Structure 1
Amino acid sequence: MNTFERKETRQEHDYVGDVLIPADKLYGVNSVRGFDNLSVSPLTVAHYAEFRDAFAQCKQAAALANLDSGVLDAERCAAIVQACKDVIDGQCDDSLIVDLLEGSGGTSTNMNFNEVIANRAQQVLGHAAGSYDVVHPNDHVNGSQSTNDVYPAALKIATHAMLAPLIDEVQKLAAQFDQKAEQFADVLHLGRTCLQDAQPMRLGQLFSGYASLTHRLAEELGAVRGKLHTLPLGGTAIGTGFGAPAAYRDAVYRHLGEITGVAYQAPSNPFDAMQNMDVFSRVSGELRTCSASLAKIASDLTVLSSGPVGGIGELKLPEAQAGSSIMPGKVNPVLPMAMIQLSFAVIGNDVAVAQAVQYGELEINHFEPVVASRIFDSIALLTNGIRRFREKCIAGISADVARNEAHLVNSMAVATALVPTLGYASVSKLARQSVNEGRSLLAIMEESGILSQTEAMAAIEKASRPVFES
């Protein structure tokens, strides 16, 4: 904001003053105040295209509903609709200057969109931006609306849109785990509990568990996405709908459905819809669950690929980059580590969302901007992080088959497989002998004539198969 060429004078709430605005910008005095007072983060309301588009879609649907209701004439409606389309096309991003994390309860955000759309509509009709002599931000663009119903509606629409690519990435990750489960189906593997040798299993079974979990994560994200179809549009300031004509509410949902392709609907209780944001606790909770679950898998991969000499080394992860600036040849599991770190951020975001949902007061929740900021951040982190985790790590995992089998046959876990054949007491005694002498349990049994290597391996093979197969 260095060269100011356009002057706007407004008198609102006992504030009188001139604000100089660059002639090539479409924002107005309220946007400038919001920018000056409330810029605290590096992101504007245009940073996430889905949020920008959702706001413009609400304004477009409102203009068409106001035309149907006789509140707006055809010429103004057409100009506002075109302005909204220009916003969605990204033509006005440099005029959407309000901070995404602004603290005005969403009013600065709403007015930034109102002013930009009004000024662009003025231009469409051949009038100068800033005069508002034909299209006014409050009277026309914001007609039949309030910040209190438009902001949460746009927040829901944007979140619904952003969840789609995230769910797609989770489904692709699940399919990748399915493929790995099949690839490793015949690899004998030492199952561990409490990081101690436990029972024989197959490496493919481990990955089938990861696949099942990830499929479930995608399903639950899809279920919570479906809870975002109910919007507070038409409630205006507190849920009464005061300021909107009787025909407006049905019309705005009809037009919004045509614009977005999603069957959004009015709430059964408009006061509940205005007061409460519990659905975002649920959305954030599923994002937290997704991140924490995938972090657990990432931690497993870090442990199982540890080494290459002093660790477990049963899995080989793709070598992404050098792991040290001082230790030559060291390669770290950076992609699983990144997935774990990402989960810390998402869990932190969930705490912020929970606090914001809790501290809504009476008829509205004025902490919606922090919910928007944290929800969008979590979705973006997960979408991008999961894609890289799948493409750069999971797809290229290989197994050290010999090492997997050696760890199993030389472990105490073999004892469990032999209990049905020899009995618990006998196997327990042999197992302790194996530990005390530092020798393989299978070697001791073969030397003692108790069980041949072939018979022992057959028992291990049987034990590694699931008792209940689908």
Structure 2
Amino acid sequence: MSDYRKEHDSLGELPVPDDAYFGIQTLRARENFHITGITMSHYPRLIEALAYVKQAAAEANSSLGLLDETKSRAICRACEEVVSGKLHDQFVVDVIQGGAGTSANMNANEVICNRALEIMGYEKGQYEFLHPLNDVNMSQSTNDVYPSALNIAIILDLRALMEAMLYLQKSFMRKGKEFSEIIKMGRTQLQDAVPMTLGQEFNAWAVMIGEDVQRVDEAEDLVYEINMGATAIGTGLNSHPDYTRTVTEKLVQLTTLNLKSSPDLVEATQDTGVYVQLSGVLKRVAVKLSKICNDLRLLSSGPRCGLNEINLPPMQPGSSIMPGKVNPVIPEVVNQVAFAIVGSDVTVSMASEAGQLELNVMEPVIGFSLFQSINMLRRACITLADKCVSGITANAERCRDMVEHSIGLVTALNPYIGYEASADIAKEAMRTGGSVYQIVLDRGILSEEELEDILKPENMVKPRYVHRR
């Protein structure tokens, strides 16, 4: 027995492995696109989304009297299996491909068709009974299938990302509460500023992340618009007049997502602005997360010759030559994730700009870049929370000692003795190495009781009514 079946397309005939659910067009794509080495099977939500689209199309075509009920049932059963996680290893096309996603669409058509043929009692490749294009792809084009599936998969991935961001936010909030009584020196431009609590610092990071959860949620709202029924360029050629409405309703039922049809399918088929907007939001999240990691690295610098206000949990030895050295490897890896996401944002921007006339053929690299960014961000948030933030400890005595010896305390004297007198005291403290407290006392500007009250660090971390002299 041969281990292959022969399949043909408009370019000719090829042998396809008997056990393969994909067919000849997928085979050609697999041979043509050796680009990333990453196949569609690495993105299960995209595969699930394609199956949702194919099932919705089959149900819509059946309800409109275009597709035989037996064929529709078999296609739908095959799609349900794919959604449940089966046959994902059969999606073998590289995620970056020419043809605007045609290879991805055909991979789905062929896998679903061949599984449906088995359900109907036939052999894989017996397309005279059920055809990947005539039946599974009925009323569709890659140009509405692929972007609609991208949107569905992106929404599902964004929800997972927001969960991870909230998880990280809660980790920072817990530390903010734990460190709420630890006084430390705030800094601007890496110079001493005014006192604050370590808890305020951690709470600020929690708020930053919370704000970005809202921005991601707002960006997700834009992704709910799909172009099913557009077929090739948005005119709906080869589809029933009621198909767009029907297939969108079916997709909403299957995915339970609040999907809606674009008001202008010609515009929707060529416009990738939503991806540019979303990529920009992901870049915003990455940049802010990287800034937080920079801060964690600075505050934990040392242990003897740095700020050393906090201790990051030791995760692994840090050097092959310096014994005992431990590096901030978790913040460092999150920094690198951020750099990669900024690069992906450039890719999405260039690919979106490269659209021509009625279609943007660069959507595969747009999708790949967005999936990479979303998934790296999600994993980075969980890694940062579990392997870094949750284990951070504070060096409370070190924090307070730096506050008490800081010249920045002089800022608190402004309302009482004025800016010029305060600046003069700061200069003397810098020149002599003396403390602000002692210089003011020696000059007889304020009493010891007044100084104790004004320069008490706990009184400088929140607004306070000042009774001017």
Q: TM-score range by the shorter chain?
A: over 0.9
Distance 1:392 1:9, change over 3 A: closer
Aligned residue number for residue 462 of structure 2 = 465
2:91 aligned with 1:96: yes
After superposition, the C-alpha distances for 1:42-77 in whole angstroms (9 at most, x for unaligned) are 211121110000000000000000001111011000
Structure-1 separation of matches of 2:310 and 2:243: 61
Q: Tell me, yes or no, if structure 1 residue 410 matches structure 2 residue 410.
A: no
Aligned with residue 222 of structure 1, among 217, 220, 224 = 217
- Residue by residue over 1:308-332, the C-alpha shift from the partner in whole angstroms, topping out at 9 and shown as x without a partner, is 0000011111111111111111111
Question: What is the alpha-carbon distance in structure 2 between the residues aligned to residue 453 and residue 302 of structure 1?
Answer: 38
Aligned to 1:304: 299
1:391, 1:225 → 2: CA distance? 26
Establish whether residue 106 from structure 1 lines up as the match of residue 101 from structure 2.
yes
Pair 1:139-2:134 in alignment: yes
Structure 1 CA distance for aligned equivalents of residues 40 and 389 of structure 2: 35
Structure 1: gaps spanning 5 or more residues: none
Equivalence for 2:202: 207
Q: Hey, what's the Cα distance between the residues in 1 that align with 2:7 and 2:209? A: 56
Q: Give the structure 1 partner of residue 189 of structure 2.
A: 194
1:8 corresponding residue in structure 2: 6
Listed one character per residue, the Cα deviations across residues 119-157 of structure 1 (whole Å, up to 9, x for unaligned) are 111111111101212110000000000000000000000
Q: Deviations over 1:414-448 (max 9, x none)?
A: 11012222222222222111111122222333445
Contact 1:5 1:20 survives alignment (8 Å)? no
Unpaired stretches in structure 2, ≥5 consecutive residues: none
Between stretches 284-293 and 457-466, larger displacement belongs to 457-466
Rounded to whole Å, the distance in 2 between the matches of 1:193 and 1:93 is 52
Correspondence 1:21 to 2:19: no
What is the count of residue pairs matched by the alignment?
A: 463
Q: Which residue of 1 aligns with 2:32?
A: 37
User: How far did 1:391 drift?
Assistant: 1.2
CA contact (8 A) 2:9 2:24 kept: no
Amino acid at match of 1:100: V
Structure 2 match to 1:284: 279
In the aligned structure 1, how far is the partner of 2:50 from the partner of 2:451? 67
Alignment of 1:241-252 (within 5 A): 241-252=236-247
8 Å contact from structure 1 (residues 342, 382) kept in 2: yes
> 2:340 corresponds to which residue?
345
Structure 2 residue aligned with 1:169: 164
Which secondary structure state, in structure 2, belongs to the residue aligned with residue 291 of structure 1? helix
Q: Which amino acid aligns with 2:156?
A: A
Query: 8 Å contact 2:227–2:265 — kept in the other structure?
Result: yes
- Cα distance in 1 for partners of 2:197, 2:428 equals 27
Distance in 2 (CA, whole Å) between partners of 1:452 and 1:343 is 52
Contact 1:9 1:19 in 2 (8 A): yes
Name the CA distance, whole Å, in 1 between partners of 2:461 and 2:52: 56
- The Cα of 1:454 is off from its aligned counterpart by 5.8
1:142-175 Cα distance to aligned partner (Å, 9 max, x none)? 0000000000000000000000011011112222
Q: Alignment partner for residue 391 of structure 2, among 386, 389, 396?
A: 396
Q: Aligned to 2:361, which of 349, 360, 366?
A: 366
Secondary structure class of the residue paired with 1:20: strand
What CA deviation, in whole Å up to 9, does each residue of 1:446-466 have, x standing for no partner? 445544666434323322213
What letter is aligned with 2:153?
A: A
Residue identity (%): 37
Single out whichever of 180-189 and 56-65 deviates more from structure 2: 180-189
Q: In terms of mean alpha carbon deviation, does 235-244 or 420-429 score higher? A: 420-429
Please tell me the residue identity of whatever aligns with 1:96: F
**Range that drifts further, 426-435 or 347-356:** 426-435
**What residue in structure 2 maps to residue 182 of structure 1?**
177
**Which residue is equivalent to 1:119?**
114
Instruction: With the length of structure 1 as denominator, give the TM-score of the two structures.
Output: 0.95
Kept in 1: contact 2:7–2:16 (CA 8 A): no
**What amino acid maps onto 2:460 in structure 1?**
A
RMSD of Structure 2 on Structure 1 (CA): 1.6
Q: Is the 8 A contact 1:4 1:22 kept in 2?
A: no
**In 2 relative to 1, CA 372–453 (structure 1 residues): closer, same or farther, beyond 3 Å?**
farther
Q: Is the 8 A contact 1:415 1:427 kept in 2?
A: yes
Note closer, same or farther for the CA distance 1:452–1:309 as it changes in structure 2 (3 Å cut): farther
**Which amino acid is the alignment partner of residue 184 of structure 1?**
F
Partners of 1:231 and 1:273 within 8 A in 2: yes
- The yes-or-no answer on 1:439 pairing with 2:434 is yes
1:158/1:11 CA distance change after superposition, 3 Å: closer
Q: Secondary structure at the match of 2:343?
A: helix
Moved more, 149-158 or 413-422: 413-422
